[in-house]
Structure 1
Amino acid sequence: MTSRQGSVGPIARRLADTFTWRETPWGTFADASGWWHDPELLALLGPGLGALHADLGATVVVGIETRGLLLGPITALALGVGFVEIRKDRRIPGDGRGPAGDPMLRAATPPEYQDGGLTLVVPGRLFRPGDRVLLVDEWLETGAQASAVRRMVTEAGAEWIGAAVVVDACAPHTRARLDVRGLLTEDELPA
């Protein structure tokens, strides 16, 4: 079963054509820089990602630092909704308050995620009860970060509707639990 919805086949082909794997001394890495360089593809990404969950009526799009901060706003514009950025907390854990006492929502990924996990943060005031939240990112594999965002969304009283990603590389149980829909799967990328 594919996670693609609608008529995103031409986008998937173009994504595959502009993608490469890079060999480095530390291993093989996905190089998506061709996606950002192609202006026509970049113009298609926001509407394409937004179309994956168009039937669920998102009222806000969220994106996780770093690539989610590129894809999130263009998807939000395509859907005519707002955008919320999720940051990776690089500070020593504190009391959970942001500037001027603004309560911050925080959620950690599991310790085994990326050699020790990480904590994601967002000002709590940016999610409101009744918000229908769509996560947008370039790649989803383990679901660790998406699950952390979902916990923050739920804690704020908003509703998680799913994740729209460029590449769906997750297991079927993760896809179903988080309602992940992708423009293409990892198997559709060139070897």
Structure 2
Amino acid sequence: MTDSRDVVRRLREGFAWRDTPVGVFADLSGWWRDPELLRMLGPSLAGLHADASPTVVAGIETRGLVLGPLAALPLGVGFVEVRKEYRVAGEGQRDGADPMLRAGTPPGYQDGGLTLIAPRRLFRPGDRVLLVDEWIETGAQASAVRRMVDEAGADWAGVAVIVAACPPEVGERLGVKALVTDDQLPG
């Protein structure tokens, strides 16, 4: 059993804001260095939506590809990676290859938006898909994944994140549950 107070304490201790020439960013590197926190993250994230009985966990590159499998293991379910299309552009689809689901974020998201992709065959009708990631602010990427899940005929179980920094209406619409909110992190 994971002690949620210990998880929150370790998240706070391992977190820092960093000033850079292009702005301030959240430095999560202390989280990845703490082996006990790494051990606790998967079960903690999985526990946020255990009542939704997910049948598969999805994660968006890059950090979702690490956190998703950590959460899938305690749930006893598989994992689907969601890629950013520009990172795999130029890899033409072979004849007979699985068709890809695609969904974009709004044009204003990250200076122009992006397209997320996943193999259609990995989201099955009747699946209950839990999206796992490290941080949510606007919900743009989670909304894109939800559209892919809907298109595949699967059901949305919600979003489990380490940090929620989104408006309440976004959290409610997407079913966001978090280990901490951004205002709980050291400032």
* TM superposition score category, shorter chain reference: over 0.9
> Counterpart in 2 of 1:152?
148
> Counterpart in 2 of 1:28?
24
> Counterpart in 2 of 1:51?
47
> Counterpart in 2 of 1:61?
57
> Counterpart in 1 of 2:123?
127
Q: For residue 9 of structure 1, report the CA deviation from its aligned partner.
A: 2.6
Matched, 1:140 2:133: no
Percent identical residues: 66
User: Taking structure 1 as the reference length, what is the TM-score of the superposition?
Assistant: 0.92
State the AA in 2 paired with 1:164: A
Matched, 1:185 2:164: no
State the AA in 1 paired with 2:118: V
User: Taking structure 2 as the reference length, what is the TM-score of the superposition?
Assistant: 0.94
Relative distance call for 1:21 and 1:92 in structure 2 (3 A) is closer
> Counterpart in 2 of 1:3?
none
Structure 2 unaligned segments of length 5 or more: list them. Answer: none
Counting matched residue pairs gives 184
Q: For residue 102 of structure 1, report the CA deviation from its aligned partner.
A: 1.4
Q: Following the alignment from structure 1 to structure 2, what is the Cα–Cα distance between the partners of residues 93 and 190?
A: 38
Q: For residue 91 of structure 1, report the CA deviation from its aligned partner.
A: 6.5
Structure 1 unaligned segments of length 5 or more: list them. Answer: 1-5
> Counterpart in 2 of 1:173?
169
Query: What do residues 128-175 of structure 1 show as CA deviations (whole Å, max 9, x unaligned)?
Result: 001000000000000000000000000000001100000010100000
State the AA in 1 paired with 2:124: R
Q: Following the alignment from structure 1 to structure 2, what is the Cα–Cα distance between the partners of residues 57 and 8?
A: 20
Q: Following the alignment from structure 2 to structure 1, what is the Cα–Cα distance between the partners of residues 185 and 135?
A: 12
Q: Following the alignment from structure 1 to structure 2, what is the Cα–Cα distance between the partners of residues 64 and 91?
A: 12
Q: Following the alignment from structure 1 to structure 2, what is the Cα–Cα distance between the partners of residues 71 and 154?
A: 23
State the AA in 2 paired with 1:132: R
Q: Following the alignment from structure 1 to structure 2, what is the Cα–Cα distance between the partners of residues 185 and 8?
A: 14
Query: What do residues 44-97 of structure 1 show as CA deviations (whole Å, max 9, x unaligned)?
Result: 000000000010100000000000001000100111100000000016989xx8
- Aligned-residue RMSD, C-alpha: 1.7
State the AA in 2 paired with 1:187: D
Q: Following the alignment from structure 1 to structure 2, what is the Cα–Cα distance between the partners of residues 11 and 91?
A: 33
